[in-house]
Structure 1
Amino acid sequence: MGTHARGISLLPMKHREGILFLLRRARVLEAEATGEPMYQLSVQQPSHYAAAAELVTATGGLPLALDQAGAYLDLFRTRRTALLQQRGEGAQNHPLPVSTTFALAVAAIAERHPAVRDFLRVCALLQPDAIPEELFC
């Protein structure tokens, strides 16, 4: 289980490599950018660099997580106002923890498709690396 269907490795990246990958994916840096533009960014916009470094640490350097985070960051940067307006009712009462967000998402999908809850419960019993990706495609 070394590569995701999109050709992205599932093995953790080194910290600097992860930061560069994330900044490229978020279109903060050019797709061909190397270490020098990343260094320039760290000097000129240290908060962007620090946020990317923190995100790499938080995701454990997992490329798929960084790919998705980078895509979201790009979308958020370009469509921030529209995205925030789509939060809907209850956004003020939305709990902060990711686990709560995940639980709410599972509950919502299970209402529409009850078998999803059972499927996720079975997956929770399995060793994560042993679950074939094809189950989710």
Structure 2
Amino acid sequence: MKAVVTRFALGSMLGAMTFVAQASNNQPAELAVGLAVDQQLSVVVELDNQYRFIIGNQGAAFDYIAKTGQFESDEPISWYVGVGAWGEWEDGFGARVPLGINYQVSDGWKLYGQVQPELNMHKGWKLDIGAALGAKYHF
């Protein structure tokens, strides 16, 4: 029963954030789709380089990319900081703060890596650290 409630809550959160992202502007959203190792093997969908949805074998997560910037380098590397939430299918849920970098591989393709301090709120409060590595194609 707990797994069903967790799935419903995560699905509702992801659906609401998609609606908010689309309703916030009348222009078509920039879309990126890819694979990552985040919630184990995961599918990543990103809207407007700001709203990232992750659904994987272990659970789901949502990240809002709050701040981005470029490194002073000849390489196409950028950084980002966000806030997000995550939940596991069996047990565990909480908040996270992704700190990551993007690397533009070619036209449309980006690799990203991030570390995220996580606050696990299941059965008490516990601080953890997680990481993710992924590839996205921007349409």
TM-score (norm: length of structure 1): 0.27
| Structure with greater strand share of residues | 2
| Structure with greater helix share of residues | 1
RCO comparison, higher one (Cα < 8 Å, 6+): 1
TM-score (norm: length of structure 2): 0.27
